[in-house]
Each structure stands twice: as structure tokens, then as C-alpha cells.
Structure 1
């Protein structure tokens, strides 16, 4: 293990440590955005939902090209554009005084994220030896969740739900992160031009054609969209409900606790759950994760005390880990080797669930009212469960496909 740590490049450590501070900055501001809009801008739940949703919507349709562009012009330039663009976005959040301004800023926030995330992962893959890549990406995932633990608590302390100064703090954090990257790229100037130019570059139309004809992949994509739809209600619908519910006096404080608990549980259960899930076909843990997420949503609407809500978060987080740790393995098994990048790129369309979650949640809160919380969250849970049939059909389809491949390989071996 120590040998693998020594193989991690200093630029990789910059990205990993920067991820902690960056996710802390985002987690102390963006999760409270819907509450801030309702409380300080007098937005309706539906309006707040639209503002929150636009970030994911932009991300869905731009993430496919995020890493692709970095292959063309270099990782360094794309990272600079994204990270210093984020600085301007957070300054824009701080000085926005109309709902439409927040809409534009959050759209740009989604664009920065969709550009920065695949490019930073690609750079980590470029500069990390094969035997250390799993360690590096696990460290990055742990850094994300560590930031999500710290961020909401800091956001609560600085009054993220009432004040826009938290956005200026986030802007300062990303400015420092960008300066650190500048210094590291100056020191290791050759790394900014590391590209994967020998790989086949496939456009959006070609990727759509290749993946849409794969029945198993499309079943997984539809099923995962419902999973993401359920997961997306945590940051949007639940936050609005806790702010608006007359039965919850300290909704903002409790929600910050729940956000931090979610990240803590991820860190605690990730390793044992991944080991357990590895024993099964990859679609089965995703199905289990979907069921855990749906059940937790139903339970969220039944309680208005902190301890039961925390128990719901534990159930929700187990579902999150089961779902998202097995998804990449499943896509890797489905994809043809020569089109693996296209499959992973198109898989990003499951984030349509993140777009729909605040819209559906905001509509239900507006139309039914927070007094109907049990009905609202029951409907959200049932909608999440709709992913199970698609995932099960994908499981059966992949099982038949792999048996067919095995028989073909056996016949080829016998004939040879």
C-alpha cells in the first residue's frame, strides 16, 4: 500500500486535496440554495425546483463533451476554464437579487461541473500508474464525501439559508484551488498536454446509434434514471419539505445534519458493501439499492423527529452506495471494448433523473401541500421503484448474453 501511495503524482494529490475543499465549498452553499430561494427570495417550491434542476439539465447534455474537449485542447486549459469559471459563478450567486439570475448562475454551475469532473478524472487516469488507479479514484471518492461531511455544517454556521456571503467564501476557495493548479502545472508543464489522441473519437450521433441499439444497455439506462430520480429528491424535495413543514421547527439545521450524516455513512459502509456486492451479478446490487432508496423516501414522509429521519438517511445511503458502486461495473460488462468510452459517456443521460426530481417534488409540494407529506413521499418512493422491472430485465438479458458468449467461446475452443 505504501508503494502505491508513493506512486501517486503530486498533481494527483493537488486534485484530491482540492476536491475536499471544493466539495466543502459546494456543500456549504448549493444544497441550501432551494431553502435560500424560498426564505430570502420568496420563491415558490416549483420555482426553486426549476432553479435547482437546471444545473443537472445542463450537465446531462454537456458532460458527454467535457472529457472529449480535453482530449483535443489539453486537460490544463479545460481545468482552468472550468475552475475559474466557477469562481465567477459563485460571485454571481452572491450578487444575484432576482430568481432568473439564480437560474442563469446555476445553469453555468452545471456547465462548470460537467466540464471539470470528467477532465479531472481523465487527468488522474493519465498520470497514475495502472496498479495505483483504483487507490487514486477511491481517495478521490473519499475526498468528495469528506467535503460533504464538513460543508453542510459550515454552511449552517455561516447562515447559508439566509445569507449570500457563503457564495463569496466558495468563490475564494475555488480561486485558491485554481492557483494551486496553476503552480502545479507550471512545475509539471508537460502534464497539461497529456491526451489520449490515439483513441477513437466518436461523436454524439455515432454514440447514440451504437448504444441505442443495445437492448441491455438501454434497459439499464432507463432503470438507473429512476434510481437517480429517487436519489435526487434528497437535496431538493426533502430540503424544501423540511423548510416548509410546520411540524419541523429547525428544518435547516436538521437538514445540514442529515447531509453530513449521509456522507459519514457513505465513508463507513462503502468498503464492506462493495465487497458484498462483488459477490453478485452487478444488476442485483443496483436493484437492492433502488429498493432501499424507495423505502427511505416513503419513510421520510412519515416522520418529523430528528432521530427517525436520521435512520431514514442511513437506509437511503445504503441504497446510494449499492446503486452507484455497481453501476460502472455493469456498464463495463455490457459495453463492447472498442466503444467503452461512448457507453460511459452516454450513461450520463441517467442524470435526467436529477433534472426531474426537483421538478416533480416541487410540483407535488405546490399542488398537494406539505401537510400531505406521507402521500407525496409515498408517490416519490413508488416512482423510484419503477426502475426495478427495467433493471431485472437487464439482469436477465445480460445473463443470457454472457451464457451465449461462453458457449461460443467453448465451441471455438473445441473446434481448435
Structure 2
């Protein structure tokens, strides 16, 4: 589905989200360092464990409200909350207010996300959703490649200017949503009976999530995703510890007797850069290559590539070998990314699509909460032991995905003109 054929809603969001995501990656990777320098690494480590809790609340709340109030109002709510929190961060006289603003920014983003994903599912035919989700992922990862390099300069030297810029861009995006984005809530959701009592609204929505998580197919899908994501998320967790502590400085290449040497930290930076570059260059082609693959096979391939690729990191410390296995586990992440949201958009009932999108995000939040355990265990367990644990997690996800598609039969995609 070519971008010129997209609904205007999607075009506005693609530009707005891509621009904001670049600004996001200019400050987010340095937040832990910032609070560590201000409050101490021990306190900062504890503080960084709190955001996933708010992420769960925001995702579930955002998904529930998206099905009740509509996609557009919830997106406006999320964008406005982020704008206000960036202004608070920029004007803050205290590190604790900085932290509260950081929590608020994350909460606004998680409220926004389920409505945004549900809007894509509302507007895009099922057979085109992988490609559209992949396009959004590409735009976001361009920011993930460029943002940290720019943020290393701007966050520490021009932090207030950067935060004001984020607030201004989000304000412009809020205005664009207000004037240019139309509501897409399906008629089936609009026809649902709703109580005017807010207490009853939230009681009803939490009851709805209870029903979702008692859905055996959905529960197995979430569990499989958590085990898979613990593996995928090691890139900026145990991989950083391993490369910096165990990979020696070495020459990237030698020319006429001269060598271009890289330290362990620089090697890790190159691996991160390669990961981001591969995402930008290949997510759309890979999505197209695997378009006719069954979702079952894509999920299994993703877990295998991620698990085997990450495990292989411990087999050799040569920089070119590390580049090679980085390509392997990055492709595991690439093939999975667009299929995750297309699967849940296909599986979710139309009237509860926002709730399912919100609940779907819980696998990322729980995965992000559990993934750092590898860093904790690395104090006692040698590298190959940690890499073996990571591989076991990947294999468990493979078993769960096999079980998932035994109890859930994929409905064939109905091809229709957009």
C-alpha cells in the first residue's frame, strides 16, 4: 500500500511521530546517566524501575478510553499531557520534579500508543497492515539512529533548549491532530452501551481487561512475546556489559601498516549503530519478502534468529564476527516488529480493538521489567551461562508460539482494494 494512497490521518501521524521520535531519542538514552549524576547511581537504578509500572497503567487506560471515547480524543490527551510535562521538565528547579515530568512524559506516550495503533487497524485493510506498521517503524528508527548522536551534544550542553523544542513540536502535533485527523472508531464500538458514571466506566473497562487476559489464545501470545522480548531487549542491557567488559580493543581494519583501532565502548557503539541502520534499511523490504508467510512461521523464525544470534555473541570476540551475529539477531527483531501489531489487530474484536492494543503493550512492559535480570545475574554467572539463559528464553518462546497456533487458526486474509 503506497503512502500516496494512505488516509490523511496516517500521513499526518507518520510525519508527526517520526519528528517527535527523533527528539525522543535525543534525550531518552541519557536520562539514566542524568539522574545517576544528580542523585547517585543506586537511587537512579531504583527510579528507573518505576516507569514500567506507569507504562502498564497508561497502556491499559489508553486502550480502554480509545474504545469508549474514540481514537482522536485519546491521542489528543496523550499529546497534550506530554507537551505539559516537557514544559514542566524545561522549567523545573528540582531533580525530583524532573523525574516526575519524565514519568508524565512516558505516561502520556503510553496513553497515546494504543489509540494510534488502533487507528491504523481501523483504516488499513488487513493484508496491508504489516507494510503500514513497518513504514511507521522505519520512520521511528531513523530517529533512533540519528537521535542519540545528536543528543550526546544537545542533551548535556543545551538540555533546556532541547526540552523546549520537544514541547513546541508536540504542541504543533497536537494542533495538527485537532484540525487534520478525523475519528475512526468503528460503528460496532459506537453502538456499545456506555454508562455516564465514570466509576462505572473504569469498573467496566477493568472487567473487560479481565476477560481479555482470561482469553487463552491471547494469554499464550503475551507469554510467548515476553520470553521473546527478554531476548531481543538484551541489545542495550547485557550486550553492553559483555562487550565493554569482555571484548578487547582491536583494529576495525588495517591499511598500509596503519590500524583503525576501536575501544570496547566504541565497538559497542558501532554494534548499536549497525542495529539501527539495519532497521532503517531493511524493515520495509523484509516485511515485503515475508508478506505471504504465515504469522506462526514469522514469530518462530524471529525467536530463533534472536536467540541463536545473541547466544553466538559469546563464542568469539572478533569485531567482524560480532558484526555478523549482530546482523542475525537484528533480523530476528526486524521480521517480528510489524507482525506483532498486525496479528493483534486481526485477532482483536472490532469493538475492543483499543483495549487489545493496550493489553498487547503489556508484553513489552513486562519484558522490559524482566530483561535486566541478565545484568543482575552476570555478577555470579559467566558470559556463556548468561547467553545460554538468553537462548533458553528464546526457545521457550518458540514452544509457546507453536502452542499458540495449535489453539488459534489464522484466518485467511481477504484481499480488497484500499
TM over 0.5: yes
Map of 1:5 onto structure 2: 4
Q: Specify which of 167, 170, 190 is matched with residue 198 of structure 1.
A: 190
Map of 1:56 onto structure 2: 52
Map of 1:351 onto structure 2: 364
Q: Specify which of 13, 16, 33 is matched with residue 15 of structure 1.
A: 13
Alpha-carbon deviation of 1:14? 3.3
The question of whether the paired residues in 1 share the 8 Å contact of 2:222 and 2:363 is answered with yes
Distance 1:217 1:124 in 2: 20
Deviations 1:65-102 (A, max 9, x none): 2143245556555444433433454566676876x667
Distance 1:178 1:74 in 2: 20
TM-score for the superposition, normalised by structure 1: 0.75
Map of 1:282 onto structure 2: 295
Matched, 1:172 2:182: no
The alpha-carbon distance between structure 1 residues 184 and 229, as it changes in their structure 2 partners (threshold 3 A), is closer
Matched, 1:185 2:195: no
Q: How many residues align?
A: 386
Alpha-carbon deviation of 1:374? 3.7
Distance 2:223 2:124 in 1: 34
Distance 1:261 1:101 in 2: 36
Alpha-carbon deviation of 1:194? 6.1
Map of 2:385 onto structure 1: 375
The alpha-carbon distance between structure 1 residues 48 and 229, as it changes in their structure 2 partners (threshold 3 A), is farther
Alpha-carbon deviation of 1:12? 3.9
Map of 2:29 onto structure 1: 31
The alpha-carbon distance between structure 1 residues 402 and 115, as it changes in their structure 2 partners (threshold 3 A), is closer
Alpha-carbon deviation of 1:154? 1.7
Distance 1:183 1:75 in 2: 15
Map of 1:414 onto structure 2: none
Map of 1:154 onto structure 2: 150
Structure 1 unmatched runs, 5+: 404-416
The alpha-carbon distance between structure 1 residues 356 and 394, as it changes in their structure 2 partners (threshold 3 A), is same
Distance 1:77 1:343 in 2: 18
The question of whether the paired residues in 2 share the 8 Å contact of 1:79 and 1:120 is answered with yes
The question of whether the paired residues in 2 share the 8 Å contact of 1:286 and 1:323 is answered with yes
Matched, 1:389 2:399: yes
Deviations 1:349-393 (A, max 9, x none): 21243332454134224x338xx4443333233233322221111
TM-score for the superposition, normalised by structure 2: 0.75
Map of 1:413 onto structure 2: none
Secondary structure (helix, strand or coil) at the match of 1:368 reads coil
Distance 2:342 2:133 in 1: 14
- What's the RMSD between the two structures over aligned residues? 3.9
Distance 1:332 1:75 in 2: 14
Matched, 1:230 2:231: yes
Structure 1 residues 273-282 or 128-137, which shifts more? 128-137
Deviations 1:99-151 (A, max 9, x none): x667645433331211122233445666x576997465443222112211211
Summarize the alignment of residues 321-332 of structure 1 with structure 2, pairs less than 5 Å apart.
321-331=334-344
Summarize the alignment of residues 230-379 of structure 1 with structure 2, pairs less than 5 Å apart.
230-239=231-240, 247=248, 250=263, 253-302=266-315, 306-331=319-344, 334-335=347-348, 341-365=354-378, 367-368=379-380, 372-379=382-389
Summarize the alignment of residues 125-144 of structure 1 with structure 2, pairs less than 5 Å apart.
134=129, 137-144=133-140
Distance 1:74 1:382 in 2: 41
The question of whether the paired residues in 1 share the 8 Å contact of 2:67 and 2:355 is answered with no
